Structure 1
Amino acid sequence: MDTRHSRESILRAGTVGGAAALAATFGGLDTGTVAAQSAIPDVPRNRTLQIIGGGGGGRFTDAGIGNPYAAGATHQIGNAAIWEGLFYYSAFGDEMIPWLATGYTYAEDFSSLTVNVRKGVKWGDGVAFTAKDVEFTFNLLMTNLKLSYGADMQKYLKSVSATDDLTVTFVFTSPNPRFLFEYLAFKFDNGVKLLPKHIFEGQDPTEFLWFDVAKGWPCGTGPYKIVLWNETQKFMDRRDDWWGKDVDLGGWSAAGSLPTAERIIFVPYSDDNRLAQLMASNEGDLGFTLLPQIIKPLVEQNKQIISHSFNRPPYGYIDWWPNSLWVNTELEPWNDPEIRWALSYALDRQQVIEVGYEGAGVPTEIPYPAYPALLPFFGSVKDLLQKYPTNKFDLGEVDKRMKAKGYAKDSAGFWAKGGKRIVIEILGFSIWATSGPILAEQLRKAGFESMYNQPPDWTNQAISGKFGGAWLFGHGASIADPYYTLYLYSSVNSKPQGNTSGGGGNQWSRWSNKDFDKIIEAMNNVPMGDPRLLELFHDAMAIWLKELPTIPVWQFYHWIPMNTLRWTNWPTVLNSYVNGAYWHTTFPLMLHKIKPIS
């Protein structure tokens, strides 16, 4: 696609707000889509939120999949505006927000949970949303292991029953004080999406795509509907009959109000440079995360563009995905904690941040995001970090540990034993293109033969159990409670060598420790906010830090460009009501907050 033509066409189309003009820009529409699009009303540009991101290579990969549980479905390209959670959780404010529900009660022993459903909620087709939809959804998941969350529901739930239209009770197989937070609260990429019983009953949830613009499908409870969707464009229009317009939802949405964006247009992601061009020319209002090397000049050159920290470092906010350098702890030499510690001492994390991220970041000592609810746990292990200094750069310690294990540097200066070198190929995504090579060079200077690569199949290599190098990856787990990240490292998630590792999405280290497991099992029965968690966390981290199954490197940031030419009240460091990622399930909270300039 000719980038210059595309930019000019989008600008012209955006000026008049016409669907047909934008469609002409992207082309590739079939007759049915063109006919449908001709009926779409024009929306003024200053009431249109244009988002640059989603998909890849200039194409959306999920077009036409309205069923959130069908293969290929994602909430990350706008569909989060269709779904609403029983609750939302904002990690920045450490706040639980009732939404489709008004409250809940756990049994004293946490053997069950009763949720009160909000009266007056309606699906997009006008049918009442009730506790029976909640019952239906969870029973569907319990009996379909192929569906997202299916295995979890079968493991944790004994039954789910709606006693009336506004009350639903979950009975657990064992005490479960975290069930509501983990599954009923939308935050980041997590939260069970509820289905309308009157539509899905009798359908095969793995095959039913649930997309038909003429029928208004998919019709969630959220304030937006899809009016145009194919591989190259997506239009979502506000539903002026949204149930919440008559309800006071606290500081998020006052009674009598609707989100002010009348239309959301998604333009598929192709590459960072094109994204930056579209933002710089004011064609985009919100974009996918960029690297500091791109967002820094962007906010400097176009004063309308801001980041979470405006035009100053770190140009973003801490995501829930703290990064580590991972190894397979079942393979030599990584099955030895002393060698893993040697690897840690070889890394100058601050140098990587200064050079690779232009200073836009911070190292992390433990695999947790530095969020308000977790900060007490950071403080509780300061004594352990004195003994186990995970961020310390010390080549002397590298030499000491390697020599103690029988290694010596060969004629080329690389560690070897018995004539065999330790070779560390580091794998990763393009988001580490500026940091991975620096890590590899640091390891080389410390005596490890190393290089950085980004093969397309690298995650398959990592989870295979056979790859003997290292890889960069994050921890999508804890945001308010330390349990979830520790659970990633429990033995139940550690697959034997030769087996593909699932491990909750992140536990690819294959590390296990029975004493650690006992602590995690005890933590599972202690509710969030209980002071006993601090002591249990300290005990668990005493084992984890000594063993160091993965090597913490830095906090992961979202460097998201936001345009203030047409929209204001973006989430920033001065107004951190929620994270600014449109691809997370909390996207609706941002839609309720942003306001047009005029």
Structure 2
Amino acid sequence: MKSRSMSRRIFALSALFLSVGATAACDNKGAESGKDPAGANSAASGPGAKDQGGAKGGAKFVTISREQQASWVRNFNPLLGEGSVRFPTVAGIYEPMIVYNTMKGEFVPWLATKYEWSDQNKKLTFSTRPEVKWSDGQPFSAKDVAFTFGLLKKFPALDLSGVWKFVDSVEAKDDTTVEFKLKEAFVPGLHYIGHQPIVPEHKWKDVADPVTFTNENPVATGPFTEVKTFQNQIYELGKNPNYWQKGKPYVEGLRFPAYPGNDQANLALINGEVDWAGNFVPDIDKTYVAKDPENNHYWFPLVGGTVTLYPNATKKPFDDIKLRKAISMAIDRAQIAKIAVNGYTVGADGTGLDDAYARWRNEKAAAAGDWTNYDVAKANALLDEAGYAKGADGIRAKDGKPLKFDINVVTGWSDWVRAVQITTQNLKAVGIEASLKTYDFSAFFEALQKGTFDMSMGWTNTEPTPFNFYRDLMAPEFVKPVNEATTRNWHRFAAKEAEPLFKKFAAATDPAEQKSIIDDLQMIYAQQVPVIPLFKNPSWGEYSTKRFVGWPSKENPYAKLSPNNSPDYLLVLTEIKPK
């Protein structure tokens, strides 16, 4: 399923993860407040758990609908992009050192118990858990952490977050201490270092090419490591016999039928065949909840990032800002929100930010980004100014080249498909011929990462601050050549004016200074139109309490419900229980 981004409430970030030279002990207060998971209370005892109905049958595996594919390819390599591997490889089979709880706004200790900044925020030290074992019984240690990051350095194609752009060295000082020395202060790097899935040195040291390695039988530290069955149409994972959180996971395993698209996935959900999903479901109160009001539930907070059109900056005519503005102003976002997304959302503004970043929003930048307003007359005027004249067929052209391009979307993502259908109709009204092109997720995501598209639908990240939201969309450092995969700046847009601001924020720890820098970045975004934001993405999450309980909910928001973002869903996988 698509990464419909991060659910998160508004929170005070600075005290959490940008504090100067602070020692951040991770063993806080359980899942409810970001504490050590070993001491966390079960979410099943919280609000929303007491009215759950009885289980049917004896099945002990949680059936999940997340990524939609016509058939499965067996790949459990956690060092690859999440769209290339099977769920929950990067956070559920393998694990990171810490997990950022997007709903609580704090880091939860995982394979590490604490981290500490020192040397003017140029050294980051993690203390790892001594009791953790790999699923084959071998001990986990800080040396595995150092080895993992060594692989990313040796094979740059695996360094999906660009860690080695800011890390100078990694060293295991002993079995429970690993030290990262940075090239310069980069406090936001905690997120990327801390969330990196860790692999076992004793298994991976002999892998000749970890970039192509499919790792069909994973040895890992996560709650679900045993591949019970793997077929084209279904795979099942069993629990880790050596999991370090004693007594967890509470469920026996996970089950993943293959659904080629939203329609098939939603039918299975509505028919009671799925326990947990992250799908767009039209008219969900009638189609899903009403079928079993006692057990069928959902939670769609508008904190899932921003659904966005990515115009490929390496291709003409998308290097023309007037064209980008005109395209944006020709799009009726209210119609998309109402028809394509069933009224679950609202249109994006000129900052591109969702509700998770409300405290950061710069109203002046939002006003400057008036190109998100639906205004056909202005769109036509901009196109005229840019030299795109309408021909006899109604299609605009410049220098003899008609204004035609494709918009990529994933087959079966019915809400996104409808959004693009509305968009192409809107664009035709101003003389632009845009064509909808659908692909299965793997092909879609490969084209997105490699920049081999005209325009593509996509999502945005939601992290502790808008720093990486804007960095992902505008940073020159992430602009890679076409055909070279990247996990950010898919559209290859470089805002040189933003570079010094990104560097300044990387070392900033004062909340007022951070806010001022983000204000400036929002203004650059609003002025340069690097992408075309469409609507705030709901964090999609549905669950049934017929067989399993302990799910996050609006009443008990101990974590994000949606299974679509790692490593957040690890918080859920270790809390749900059989009824």
TM-score (norm. length: structure 2): 0.79
User: SS where residue 245 of structure 2 aligns?
Assistant: helix
Partner of 1:235: 236
Asked if 1:135 corresponds to 2:125, the answer is: no
Q: CA deviation at 1:293?
A: 5.6
Q: Structure 1 residues 336 and 296 mapped into 2: Cα distance closer, same or farther (>3 Å)?
A: farther
Deviation for aligned residue 1:131: 1.6
SS for the counterpart of 2:238 is strand
Specify which of 526, 529, 540 is matched with residue 548 of structure 1. Answer: 529
| Distance of 2:86 and 2:444 partners within structure 1 | 24
Equivalent position to 1:438, from 407, 422, 439: 422
Which position in structure 2 is the counterpart of 1:145? Answer: 156
Q: Give the alignment partner of residue 271 of structure 2, picking from 251, 273, 281.
A: 281
Deviation at 1:367, TM superposition (A): 6.3
DSSP 3-state at the match of 1:122: coil
User: Counterparts in 2 of 1:28-427, with a 5 A limit?
Assistant: 45=58, 47-54=60-67, 56-57=69-70, 59-62=71-74, 65-69=75-79, 74=85, 76-77=87-88, 80-149=91-160, 152-184=162-194, 191-204=195-208, 206=210, 210-211=215-216, 218-231=218-231, 232-239=233-240, 241-245=242-246, 257-292=247-282, 297-304=287-294, 306-309=296-299, 316-318=300-302, 320-366=304-350, 370=354, 372=356, 374-378=357-361, 381-416=362-397, 421-427=402-408
Instruction: Map Cα deviations across residues 70-97 of structure 1 (whole Å, 9 max, x no partner).
Output: 7996252466322222111111221211
| Contact 1:53–1:269 (Cα < 8 Å) also in 2 | no
Per-residue deviation, 1:572: 1.9
Matched, 1:472 2:457: yes
In the alignment, which residue of structure 1 is the partner of 2:567?
Answer: 585
Determine if contact 2:306/2:537 at 8 Å carries over to the other structure: yes
What residue in structure 2 maps to residue 520 of structure 1? 502
Q: Distance in 2 between matches of 1:209 and 1:464?
A: 20
- 1:448: which partner in 2? 432
Does the CA contact (< 8 Å) of 2:135 and 2:219 recur in 1? Answer: yes
Aligned to 2:47: none
- Amino acid of the structure 1 residue aligned with 2:369: Y
Map of 2:476 onto structure 1: 491
CA contact (8 A) 2:540 2:562 kept: no
Give the direction of change, closer, same or farther, for the CA distance of 1:590–1:172 in structure 2 (3 Å limit). same
Distance in 1 between residues matched to 2:79 and 2:492, nearest whole Å: 29
Paired residue secondary structure (1:124): coil
> Aligned equivalents of 1:70 and 1:547: distance in 2?
32
| Distance in 1 of aligned mates of 2:433 and 2:562 | 38
- Judged with a 3 Å threshold, the aligned counterparts in structure 2 of structure 1 residues 338 and 279 are, in CA distance, closer, same or farther, namely closer
After superposition, the C-alpha distances for 1:491-542 in whole angstroms (9 at most, x for unaligned) are: 23335xxx51657434243333322222223223325x74312111222222
CA RMSD in angstroms, aligned pairs only: 3.2
Q: CA deviation at 1:106?
A: 0.9
Cα–Cα, structure 1 residues 385 and 582, in superposed 2: closer, same or farther, change >3 Å?
A: closer
Q: Contact between 2:450 and 2:484, CA under 8 Å: does it hold in 1?
A: no
Q: 1:533 to 1:504 in 2, by over 3 A?
A: farther
Distance 1:264 1:331 in 2: 43
Query: How many Å separate the matches in 1 of 2:241 and 2:451?
Result: 52
Structure 2 Cα separation of the partners of residues 541 and 79 of structure 1: 31
Q: Deviations over 1:170-202 (max 9, x none)?
A: 112232212221221xxxxxx311122333334
Alpha-carbon distance in structure 1 between the residues aligned to 2:402 and 2:91: 49
Is 1:427–1:455's contact at 8 Å kept on the other side of the alignment?
A: yes
| Identity in percent | 23
How far residue 554 of structure 1 moved from its aligned partner, in angstroms, is 0.8
- Unaligned stretches of 5+ residues in structure 1: 1-42, 185-190, 213-217, 246-256, 310-315
Question: What's the CA shift for 1:107?
Answer: 1.5
User: Does 2:579 match 1:594?
Assistant: no
Partner of 2:554: 573
Q: Does structure 2 conserve the Cα–Cα contact (< 8 Å) formed by 1:70 and 1:209?
A: no
1:437-459, CA deviations, whole angstroms, 9 ceiling, x for partnerless residues? 11111122234333433256666
**Are the equivalent residues in 1 in contact too, given 2:124–2:180 (CA < 8 A)?**
yes
Contact 2:350 2:368 in 1 (8 A): no
Distance 1:464 1:269, change over 3 A: closer
In 1: Cα distance, 2:352 partner to 2:417 partner: 23
Q: Match of 1:435, as an amino acid?
A: A
Equivalent position SS for 1:441: helix
Judging changes above 3 Å, is the alpha-carbon distance between structure 1 residues 522 and 447 closer, same or farther for their aligned structure 2 residues?
A: same
CA, structure 1 residues 94+414, in 2 after alignment: closer, same or farther (shift >3 Å)? Answer: same
Paired with 1:153 and 1:552, the residues of 2 have a C-alpha distance of 27
Distance change >3 Å, CA 342–CA 141, structure 1 → 2: closer
TM-fit CA distance, 1:360:
1.6
State the 1:61 CA deviation: 0.8
TM-score (norm 1): 0.77
User: Hey, what does 1:252 align to over in structure 2?
Assistant: none
Q: Tell me the amino acid that sits aligned with residue 271 of structure 2.
A: S
| Matched residue SS, 1:454 | strand
Q: Write the letter of the residue equivalent to 2:479.
A: S
Q: Is the 8 A contact 1:276 1:295 kept in 2?
A: no
Residues 306 and 319 (structure 1), Cα distance of their counterparts in 2 relative to 1, 3 Å cut: farther
Instruction: State the SS of the aligned residue for 1:435.
Output: helix
Unaligned runs of 5+ in 2: 1-55
Q: Deviations along 1:204-230, whole A, 9 cap, x unmatched? A: 352765555xxxxx3322233315132
Aligned residue for 1:134, secondary structure, equals helix
1:319 to partner: Cα distance: 5.8
Larger radius of gyration: 1
Bigger RCO (CA 8 Å, 6+ sep): 2
Secondary structure, counterpart of 2:360 in structure 1: helix
Secondary structure of the residue aligned to 2:346 is: coil
The match for 1:30 is: none
